[in-house]
Amino acid sequence: MQRLIVLITTLMLAACSDPRQQVTTQLADQVLLPAHQQWQSRNMTLLDSTRAWCSGDQELASLKQAFHQSQSAWSRLQPLMVGPLSEGNRSWQVQFWPDKRNMVARQTEDLLDEFADLTQPQLEGASVVVQGLTAFEYVLFDEQTAVTENRDRYCPLLTGIARHQLTLSDQVLALWQQPEGMLDKLTSFPNARYANADEALGGILRVQVTGVDTLKKKLGTPMGRLNSGVPQPYQAEAWRSRHSTENLQASLAGAQAVWERVRSLVGDAGLVADIDQAYKTIRDQLEALPAPLMELVQDPTRQAQLQSLYQNLDALETLQQDDLARHLGIQIGFNANDGD
Amino acid sequence: MLSRVSTGGLLLASLLLSACSDEPAATPAPAYDEARARLVINHYADLALAAYSDALSEARELRGQIDALLAQPNAETLAAARQAWRDARVPYMQTEVFRFGNAVVDEWEGQVNAWPLDEGLIDYVADDYQAVMGNPGARANIIASQSLKIGEQQLDLSELDADLLASLNELGGSEVNVATGYHAIEFLLWGQDLNGTDAGAGERPATDFATGEAATGGHNDRRRDYLTVVTDLLISDLEAMVAEWQPDQDNYRADLAADSVENGLRKMLFGMGSLSLGELAGERMKVALAAHSPEDEHDCFSDNTHFSHFYNGKGIENVYLGEYQRVNGDTVSGPSLSDLVAASEPQLDEALKADLNASEAALQTLVDSAASGVHFDQLIAPGNAEGAATVNGAIDALVEQTTRIEKAALVLDIQALNPDTANHSF
């Protein structure tokens, strides 16, 4: 009988803690942490590339490419940034959007007028608006900076931003990997943050659903959804580099990577098919966009296409936030976009 | 022996089933007493009625002080009008917790409290004024203009009446074109705050409302008309919202009462959580702090932001506790969410009450700071580490209490919190 009890206990542990805990562990090890590592490694390249361009050893096109790579890693990371990167104002140090009042141009120029030879501490003491990729993009892509002719003016800032991004990603990675760090919190329970794997999975899904909600915002804002349908091209994310759509694609791929792992927990084949189809439709629709988002929103003949994309994102959000969460018995909770 | 094994097998199977099933092991007791929850929702509507009624009576007081200002524009009458505006904000800010979750409020709110605004739409502004990129109305200056061309459209502005001003909201599709509501009145009473993140609020002189020799600002007849019309519109908007919450009428309150208890509780909790996290901690504090941006300050002309935030927080607490202190000092109290939560998890109820106290104390530090001369726009200045810590303290307390609000929602068996998406069907 005692052996039977041992057997039962072992089986219960294996059968019960398993599926959800396994998926949560896989997500942490194989999706979330690697996305943070990739972001850090792209930031390393960005710093190298910035130094090379500033010392005249590299073409501007290569620096722009390095910027796109960092931006893309950051976009993928947004639906995956459970824990350290979501806390404090860290994510805003990476990107400041939306920037309706063009604060990035004003604050960048003011900062460089004040400190001709900007030091790292001066940059660290300034606002998040000038510390991240938004300011980097402004310097590289805005016509008014004429960055090639004004290399001396802008290089201290570009190098400072690249260094700030690398330091930030190093810090975040350390918070993931240190003992009792984020990785431990997502893989061994109970801990100070999560009582069990369900709570951890709920935390991951919340960030992922918020990521999908943010995609809606990034599409809907330039479409004019907050502005009686009048397009707001300058409120598109990354309008200066014309990379809004690529960013949306990278974020969607990040969100989908979570779903790919969660799928095995869902017993309802209809729900699985609906969510799979929703991702596929949105992916195809993004793929089919023929021009940069800031141009498309101003083209009346493209409105139906964009509306349909928006509605599909909305449907995906509801499928996950509501149907999937209910199916799994997980509360998604409030997200930072509620109340907008 | 054989039978014992098979019993063991059955036992094993049933244990596994009960431990692994998606369904709860046993049918749980109902999360709350339904009749009691109905009373909680009804009392929530009473709170809304009391708060909007106070907002209305204070707006009428404001109208009286504006009459006095216009009859005799001087420093004293202007100060009295400004004080009346501040007083009017006290009940109004406590109503904002009703905005999220109740579509009737959210759809109405734009004309009443839209923010932030490109104030150059309304009146004169300084040369270095920063508007939103691509806003065609950013420097329209309605007060100085008889007509306005937006794109192909020519608008006649000669008659400043409520319909015209309301129609100019979101002019050219820009949400920062705000012609009406509390913040338009605030701008008219204070003018632009040209001090950035340094001390000081807007300094519009009373003579901007004078006629004849002493007049400053220009187009003073139109500025006087504008202020009167926009305040009257605020009053009529508030009258309409008070009517929505009156008992025994064919109105929003009746719809709320007719809806399911679950939806009613969801709306209450969604309002609390959304105001706490996304709006107050996020849009109204974190954005302004992280970007050191006084344009993103809530009451940027008057520097009354500390009180706006404090009374927003109070509103959240009011809904949970079922209490509201009226402007005349009376207290309205009755069946509350707190009662429902305490009935099944008293410890959680105590913890949430402690969180609400803590966030009130944290928001109080913003008020105390302002009282000692350091206002919100100075707290967010670059390099003000102490100020940032004060604001972050308030943000953190709100974030913490939001997590507890989610737990309270779970105790009441509410998983999906957003009323807009909770009951969809495909």
What ipTM describes this predicted complex? 0.76
- Of A23-37, A154-168, B240-254, B292-306, the range with the lowest mean pLDDT is B292-306
B362, pLDDT greater than 80? yes
Q: Give pLDDT, residue A2.
A: 53
| Calpha distance B319→B47 (Å, rounded) | 8
Which of A100, A122, A196, A240 to mutate to probe the B interface, most B CBs <10 Å? A100
B36, pLDDT greater than 60? yes
B417, pLDDT greater than 70? yes
Cβ-defined contact of B170 to A103 (cutoff 8 Å): no
Count other C-beta atoms under 10 Å from residue B139's C-beta: 13
Are B143 and B223 contacting, i.e. CB atoms less than 8 angstroms apart? yes
Q: Give pLDDT, residue A18.
A: 80
Q: For residue A76, give the nearest of A111, A110, A48, A38 by alpha carbon.
A: A38
Q: Burial of A191 by CB count in 10 Å (0-12 exposed, 13-18 middle, 19+ buried)?
A: middle
Centroid of chain to Cα A249: 11
Q: Give pLDDT, residue A337.
A: 61
| Calpha distance A246→A287 (Å, rounded) | 9
Cβ-defined contact of A103 to B291 (cutoff 8 Å): yes
B268, pLDDT greater than 80? yes
Q: Give pLDDT, residue B191.
A: 97
Least CA distance to A7: which residue of chain B?
A: B12
How many Cβ pairs within 8 Å bridge chains A and B?
A: 144
pLDDT band at B131; cut points 50, 70, 90? confident
Within 8 A by CB and 6+ apart from B140, the residues are B120, B121, B148, B150, B171, B177
Cβ-defined contact of A101 to B131 (cutoff 8 Å): yes
Count of CA atoms in the C-beta half-sphere (13 A) of B365: 17
Tokens for A67, please give them. 């910027």
Phi and psi, residue B153, nearest 5° = -90, 130
Q: Give pLDDT, residue B327.
A: 97
| Calpha distance B376→B369 (Å, rounded) | 8
pLDDT above 90 as % of chain B: 78
Q: Give pLDDT, residue A277.
A: 98
Interface list for B 18-47 with A (CB within 8 A): 19-20, 22
Cβ-defined contact of B173 to A229 (cutoff 8 Å): yes
B426, pLDDT greater than 70? no
Domain ranges of chain A: 21-187, 197-328
Cβ-defined contact of A11 to B11 (cutoff 8 Å): no
Most confident of B188-197, B277-286, B309-318: B309-318
Over the stretch B141-160, which tens digit does the pLDDT of each residue have?
A: 999 999 998 878 899 999 99
B259, pLDDT greater than 70? yes
Check whether domain A197-328 has CATH 1.20.120, yes or no: yes
**What does DSSP assign to residue B18?**
H
Least CA distance to B293: which residue of chain A?
A: A103
| Calpha distance A210→B280 (Å, rounded) | 18
- The distance of B219 to chain A (nearest Cα, Å) reads 28
Cβ-defined contact of A325 to B415 (cutoff 8 Å): yes
**B406 → closest Cβ in A16, A333, A339:** A333
Q: For residue B54, give the nearest of B279, B228, B241, B264 by alpha carbon.
A: B241
Least CA distance to B135: which residue of chain A?
A: A232
A-chain residues near B134 (CB < 8 A): 232-234
Q: Give pLDDT, residue A152.
A: 96
B-chain residues near A125 (CB < 8 A): 382-383
Are B392 and B285 contacting, i.e. CB atoms less than 8 angstroms apart? no
Give this prediction's pTM: 0.85
Q: Give pLDDT, residue B151.
A: 77
pLDDT less than 50: residues of chain A: 1, 7-16, 340
Over the stretch B182-199, which tens digit does the pLDDT of each residue have?
A: 999 999 999 999 988 888
B9, pLDDT greater than 80? no
Interface list for B 139-178 with A (CB within 8 A): 170, 172-176
Cβ-defined contact of A129 to B291 (cutoff 8 Å): yes
Are B321 and B339 contacting, i.e. CB atoms less than 8 angstroms apart? no
Q: Burial of A58 by CB count in 10 Å (0-12 exposed, 13-18 middle, 19+ buried)?
A: middle
- Per-residue pLDDT, averaged over B71-87, amounts to 98
Least CA distance to A108: which residue of chain B?
A: B291
| Calpha distance B290→B388 (Å, rounded) | 9
Q: Give pLDDT, residue A77.
A: 98
Tokens for B219, please give them. 């187009």
Tokens for A76, please give them. 């993928």
Check whether domain A21-187 has CATH 3.40.50.300, yes or no: no
The counts of H helices and E strands in chain B are 16, 4
**Domains, chain B, ranges and CATH?**
34-422 (1.20.1420.20)
Q: Give pLDDT, residue B26.
A: 54
B-chain residues near A102 (CB < 8 A): 130, 133
Distance from first CA to last CA of chain B, Å, rounded?
54
Cβ-defined contact of B16 to A102 (cutoff 8 Å): no
Q: Give pLDDT, residue A182.
A: 97
